[in-house]
Chain A
Amino acid sequence: MTGINSEMSRRNVLRAIGLGAVAVGGGGLLGACGGLKGSGGSSSGALKIGYVSPQTGPLAGFGAADEFIVKQIREALRDGITAGGKKTKIEIIVKDSQSNPNRASDVARQLIFEDKVDLIVASSTPDTTNPVADQCEANGIPCVGTIAPWEAWYFGRGAKEGTEFRYTTMFYFGMTEITNCFVSMWDRMGTNKKVATLWPNDSDANAFRQGFPPVMKRKGYTMVDGGSYQNGISDYSAQIAKFKGAGAELFTTTPLPPDFNTYWKQAAQQGYRPKLATVAKVMLFPSEAEALGPLANNIATDVWWSPVHPYKSTLDGTTAQQLADNYAKDTGKQWTQALGSVYSLFEIAVSALGSADDPRDRKAVAQELKDMKIECMGGALDFTAGPVPGVAVQKLAGAQWRKGKDFAWDLVIVDNSQVPHVPVGGDLLPTG
């Protein structure tokens, strides 16, 4: 190959590349539409619940079970509910946030102004839950969110200590719960108490960087910090060398899923095998365990919902196990933790609409949400007892990925010290 045409001036080349960079950055904005369609025939006078979640884009894994859950809920509610003293149909309108906060905001506005929904539920990461909640708060629509750490949902929306949102609520866990979950597994594993931490420079991992060290110090753990690298790097040899050099027997991380895959394989190549790896944000879905193959064995993570959790539906009595089994039968796929959370969003919505004197009185419904105490598919949720107003906290079990029977990998509960009512399915075993 020879030189660039002299006619092709450097400026043109650079301009083309500059445009390229812009286009690369903007790729997500133009992601496809599609996904689930909202329900068709609307009966006049029905109460409308809007649902926003990432069904396409990088976070689409979270939305994978949405279609199934919405079908289950529609089935359970086909006869409508009693709200405000009379029988009312419930209509569910589904919108895709495309893993994009701006899009999430747009579809929330559509739900409010075009579909005129009575309540909005939103799930899966602050990129969707926060913009939706902001729209609801600004326009006076009751809202419930989930699958976003409560601190990210609360402080991330500009709340200060003592702020009370009027219309928006959520349930999930926060730093305290995940710290307790991981440390109680560390405590049970006889180690040199040196913890390798691989925390990138993003908002999730920075919350860990703030939350974990005080607890580690109190419990006598030393931190071997891998440094706040940027997401998307392709090589972890510097971090691995540091962890190996320090002899860290425990390992914890909060990375992006593809980054974890790269790191974990490279650590195996370089001969770094911690006694116990506790990971957050990754290894939530069975597909991630499958993508690691044998290296996934006994990696520990946090679990807020599983089929063995002794929870059942307030709508039709379906148990957690039945929900997971139905999902497997219906889709051929293995359960994910999002199943229980998304299901409960609708239970809570229906409960609030049903118990308000007038289901169309936004303030009354929002108050019902904030006063909610419910034992549902997601467990016992108390919105009055949270760390801040309008937040119900879920406790976490510890679990490890093991070779499965029906599917390649199963998430087995190994630590229930925070949730004694959840049965343990196996012993805590070394990862390495």
Chain B
Amino acid sequence: MDWVNALVQGILLGGLYALFACGLSLLFGVMRIVNLAHGDLAVLAAFLAYATATVTGVSALWATVVVVPVFAVLGYLVHRGLLERSLAAGPLATLLVTFGLSIVVQNLLLESFSADSRTLDVGSLVSASLRITDDISVSYLAVLTFLLAAGVLVGLQLFLSRTQLGRIVRATSDDPEAATLVGADSRHVYGIATALAFATVALAGLMFAMRSSFDPNIGPSRLIFAFEAVVIGGLGSLWGTFVGGIVLGLAQTVAAQIDPALTLLAGHLLFLAVLAFRPQGLLPARSM
């Protein structure tokens, strides 16, 4: 029964990792930007929601409804004001810009919110769970996170493959110059992709903040799992990211069942194994 529990909890944990990795995957897939500020942006979203909930008195769940669109707008502005300029200078410049952004966000948060740890208060939902058997309980919050991850990834995939704007994003991603020649405004298109990525990272940050606690310095430690989920699943593939997150979550919980000391190691080893033997990832992006 313990093993079944490990599998169930692993899949649910994978949902969180996948949701976290989604924005990273999108930015990389479309613009080849490795966003080192990813974890810190998630924490920034959590603080924004915390501030919204505290100031207005609305519940954390409602604050989510405010913060996610705000983050999408922020994403667009960050792209037009910051990332766009660095893209021309090559991948190293964007890497440094996002690294700088990471430090700026951390320290702005420390200055304005202090080092205290916080949580997004969701009332009794935090400990509510569905008891399936004596040994297996499924947290509603974890199920909600998993469903959000699935919804967001499916939604994004459909957006990219089925809609006019999605096709333009793909076209721009494949060849910005050619896309511009036929009338696509690559800067605007990239801005929209960044906005989407920021919205998903905000969502991930909020779900994480409800599930655990956060402080201004916790961002980078979450980034590594997102990286691993993206690489395991396959760079540039959203389906892959979903699968990668779940595989990573499963590797961790199943290893913990054998020996808790192996939890993180198992995830890292899997990540290395994928890099060594299947560098294109489990579900690689379709080649053009």
Chain A contact residues, CB within 8 Å of chain B: 1-6, 8, 10, 12-14, 16-17, 19-21, 23-24, 27-28, 30-32, 34, 56-61, 64, 201, 226-230, 232-235, 237-239, 241, 244-245, 257-258, 261-262, 265-266, 268-271, 285, 287-288, 290-293, 295
Contact = CB atoms under 8 A, between A and B. Distances in A.
Interface of B: 2, 5-6, 9-10, 13, 16-17, 26, 29-30, 32, 34, 36, 91-92, 95, 99, 102-103, 106-107, 110-111, 114-119, 121, 126-129, 131, 135, 137, 139, 141-142, 156-157, 160, 169-170, 173-174, 211-215, 217-218, 220-221, 223-225, 227, 231, 235-238, 249, 252-253, 256-257, 259-261, 263-265, 275, 279, 284-288
Contacts of A5: 32, 174
Contact of A1 (B36, B160, B212, B263): B160
Given A8-B32, A235-B13, A3 B260 contact: no
B110 A265 contact: no
Nearest to A27: B220
Nearest to A241: B2
The interface centre, meaning the residue of A10, A19, A235 with most chain B CB atoms within 10 A of its CB, is: A235
Contacts of B6: 237-238
Contact of B261 (A4, A201, A291): A201
A235 B265 CA distance: 14
Contacts, number: 211
Contact of B263 (A27, A31, A229, A270): A229
Given A229-B261, A233-B252, A270 B32 contact: no
Contacts of B115: 56-61, 64
Nearest to A55: B115
B117 A2 contact: no
Nearest to A32: B107
Contacts of B211: 262, 265
Contact of A17 (B34, B116, B117, B174): B34
A403 to B, nearest CB: 15
A232 B217 CA distance: 13
A285 B237 CA distance: 43
A4 B91 CA distance: 14
Nearest to B214: A258
A292 B236 contact: no
27 contacts: A1-B285, A2-B173, A3-B284, A3-B286, A6-B287, A14-B275, A17-B231, A23-B36, A58-B115, A58-B215, A64-B114, A201-B261, A226-B260, A229-B260, A229-B263, A230-B261, A234-B17, A237-B256, A241-B5, A258-B218, A261-B212, A269-B142, A270-B137, A288-B213, A291-B117, A291-B119, A295-B127
B103 A31 contact: yes
A270 B129 contact: yes
Contact of A258 (B95, B215, B220): B215
Contacts of A14: 275, 279
A258 B13 contact: no
Contacts of A4: 29, 32, 235-236, 285
A1 B103 contact: no
Given A2-B173, A239-B256, A23 B126 contact: no
Given A8-B32, A13-B235, A258-B218, 11 more contacts: A17-B34, A19-B92, A20-B36, A24-B36, A32-B107, A61-B117, A64-B116, A229-B256, A238-B256, A288-B117, A293-B121
A60 to B, nearest CB: 3
B3 to A, nearest CB: 10
B119 A56 contact: no
Contacts of A28: 217
Nearest to B170: A2
